[in-house]
């Protein structure tokens, strides 16, 4: 498995944020769901 300290960065296109109506400062939760599926959601802000 992966080595400790190795980080990967994935750049998500700006248009996705506009589609999902995300704003700067929104907390985004990315969790793994199943083997090949990743769920990205905006956590409920107070």
pLDDT band (50, 70, 90) for residue 2: low
Q: Residue 6 belongs to what domain range? A: 1-46
Mean pLDDT, rounded, of the chain: 80
In total, how many domains does the chain have? 1
Q: What is the pLDDT of residue 13?
A: 85
Round to whole Å and give the CA distance between 13 and 19.
10
pTM above 0.85, yes or no: no
3-class DSSP assignment, residue 19: helix
Checking if the pLDDT of 3 tops 80, the result is: no
- For residue 4, the model assigns a pLDDT of 67
| Residue 27 predicted with pLDDT over 70 | yes
Residues 30 and 40: beta-carbon distance below 8 Å: yes
What tokens appear for 26 in the block?
């929104």
10-21 mean pLDDT: 82
CATH value at residue 8 = 2.10.260
């Amino acid at each position: 498995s992966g080595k400790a300290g190795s980080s990967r960065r994935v750049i998500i296109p700006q248009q996705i944020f506009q589609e999902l109506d995300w704003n700067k400062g929104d907390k985004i939760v990315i969790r793994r769901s199943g083997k090949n599926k990743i769920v990205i959601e905006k956590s409920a802000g107070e």
